[in-house]
Every structure is written in structure tokens, then in C-alpha cells.
Amino acid sequence: MADDQQQAPPQPADSSPSADARKPVVPAAAAPLPRMLGALPGDLRAKLRERLRGTFDQFFDTYLEPWYLRRQQFAKQQPDKTLDYYYEARWALEQLYSPFSDAKRNPVKAFEKHYVIPKAEPNGPVDPVDGLPIVPTSMCTPFHAKDSATLLQVGRDNVAKMRTVLRDGKAKGGDGDLSPDSRILDFGCYCGNMMRALGEFTDEGEVWGADLDGDPVTWAMTHLTPKYRFMFTSSSAHLPFEDRYFDLIYCGSVFSHIEAPDAWLAELSRILRPGGQLYVTMIDKPALAKYIKEWPDVSIAREATGFMTKEQLESDYAQMVINRSPWQHAIFDREFFLNKARQTFDVVSVAPFVYSYQTAVLLTKRDTARRRPAANTQAEIKPAGATAGV
């Protein structure tokens, strides 16, 4: 973004949060990033600029800008509380970006101590295809969609491509296309934009969505239930479903943000029935090269070329993690990822450039029920009172 090109605000000689450093100074015509940074002490300013570069748009719009404006108003009334607000922001930043902290999530109304979730408008605008509420524009822009109709059409297109992969996989040992009573999980569902293309399976089957992004999931819970079902989760590798529950789990551009996929692959295997299918899209080396060449202003391309050296990008790596954060990007050597998946799955097919430029991988769960070797039960089970050699 344009803010990344601006110089950092002048640092105070003493970086501790002195009274002057804590005082909000907000030029009326300033751009959002300098306005935010200009009112914060030097150490937090530096952290924000360095760690949020490339992913700042989403984080700022969703969390920091609303938080800052509210705190600015409160600080005018209670100047002695400004330091508390500073530490609150620093704590949140450390929680989000610490590599030692698991179970991260983006809470609904993250910086509100008290909040209200409104109900859906009873006569609000609906999508002409499925008759359900349209998606707010604020939830469309992160997907480069201008409006709800565009976002939902992209979801329908991606589901159509997925079902083609499922059908083609039948001849390669896969389970084939979905049946009317299928239990389906959209792992990384956002606001349900792909799920809404699977309405035909909600009568006899179930269509679930799970995501760690609180605002879109909460919107879906209030606007798309009971037809669709939703769960707010975290980055910790656990989902609150019973063993062998689902027939299909799909993950559109989810493993492209997961740093350590092994535990999540094992967890998804746990909740899939034997023979169930896992459809995963990922950014492998060909996908990354295509993003950089053909879509240079998308976040993955900007961050790859902005954070990584040419030598790193061209190296023979197994995995690359860029801008470690809740919105990090994970790029895999294709065979490296498949070997991880083979620990609990059989690989059915690999289809490059299916989900945008991402590669789609279709996996089936092996029957992992423990089988005991055949044994001579007569020799193992002796009658009561029997002695050795009798």
C-alpha cells in the first residue's frame, strides 16, 4: 500500500512512553497509517511498521483503526488512561505475532469489552440465486470482489471446479462426487461464500463451516443458519467434531496460510470417515511464480518479492513462510507437502492452477482401524488352573 513508501515518523530520544509520547497528535488530513503511528510510542511504532507491512490493510481496517479512534476519544476525557490503551495494543500485537503462542484467532469485535451482535434484517436484500442475504461489501474486498454477487459467483465457480476434481478422482480410487446425504465441512469458510453453492446437500446431509475469523463467521451465523452450520475456531489443531463424522472436507486457500500442516492434516483425518475425501488447495512453487508474474499486486506476490531475497525465492526449498502472522503465507514444494499428507491419506490427484493459481490436491483417508495379527487363541487362552507344559 502507499503508506509503506512513507518514512517512519521521527523517533523520540527516549523511547519509553513518556507523557508527550502518549499524547495523541492526529493531523486532520494525514493518511491512516501515519496518523495511527504518529500517536504511538516509538517502540510500538517500529513494531507495527515492520511486522504489519504487506498485511496491514486488513489488520488496520478491522482492528487498529476502530480501536485507535475510540481510544483517542477516551484519552481526551481520561488522559491518565492512555498508557493503558498503549499496553492493550502492544499486548494484542504480541499475541497475534508471537510464534510461541498457539490457538490464535481473530475475535469478533476484538477490542470491545462489551458488544452487541445484531440480528439479520428481516427484509434485507437477498442474493437472486439462493435467496439468502447478500454479503456486506466490507467482507468482499479482502477477496478482491467488488460486491456480494461477484464474491458468491467466485464461490460457485470454485465449488464447480472442486466437484469436477471429485468426479474425475472416482477412476483413480477416490469416492467420486457428493451424495445427497453427504456431511461436508468447509474448513476456512470465511462468511460461507463457497458453502452457499452446496445448498442441495442441506436437506438430507449437513454443510458445516469453521473459521478463526470472528466477524465473517458471526455474520454467517446470524444470516445463513439454520440452513448452514458454523463453528468459530482457532489456529490450534483441534475441531470440536466427533471422529469419522464427515464425508468431505475442503480447504480453499487455507493451507496457504498454515505454517505447520502436519497436525492439521492429522486432525482433519480424525474427523473424516474412512474413504472420506479431503480437498486441499495450496501455493506450491509453480503457483507462487504465476502469482508474481501475472498478479504482482496481490498480497502473496507483494510479500514474496518484498520480504524474501531473490536467492531465497529461487532456492530449492521444502517450505517457505512469509510474514509470519495470522495472515502469513506458506509456500510448499509440492512433493514435500504430499509426503506429509501420505502419513494419513492416499493421494488421488493433483491439479495445478485450479483455485486461482493454487494447486488442488485430492486425498482419501485410509482405514486406520488397528488390525491385530491372526493368533492361535487356543494357545493364548489357557483353562483355569492350567500350568505351563500341561
**Tens digit of each residue's pLDDT (9 = 90 or more) over 201-231:** 999 999 999 999 889 999 999 999 999 999 9
| Residue ranges for the chain with pLDDT beneath 50 | 1-39, 52-58, 61, 375-390
Residue 142 has a pLDDT of 80
The mean pLDDT value of the chain amounts to 79
pTM of the full predicted structure? 0.75
Amino acid 93: pLDDT:
63
Query: CA-to-CA distance for 79 and 60, rounded, in angstroms?
Result: 23
Give all domains of the chain, ordered by start, each with its CATH number. Answer: 2-97 (no CATH), 137-365 (3.40.50.150)
Residue 289 confidence (pLDDT): 97
pLDDT of residue 109: 77
Q: What is the pLDDT of residue 42?
A: 56
The pLDDT, as a whole number, for residue 382 is 41
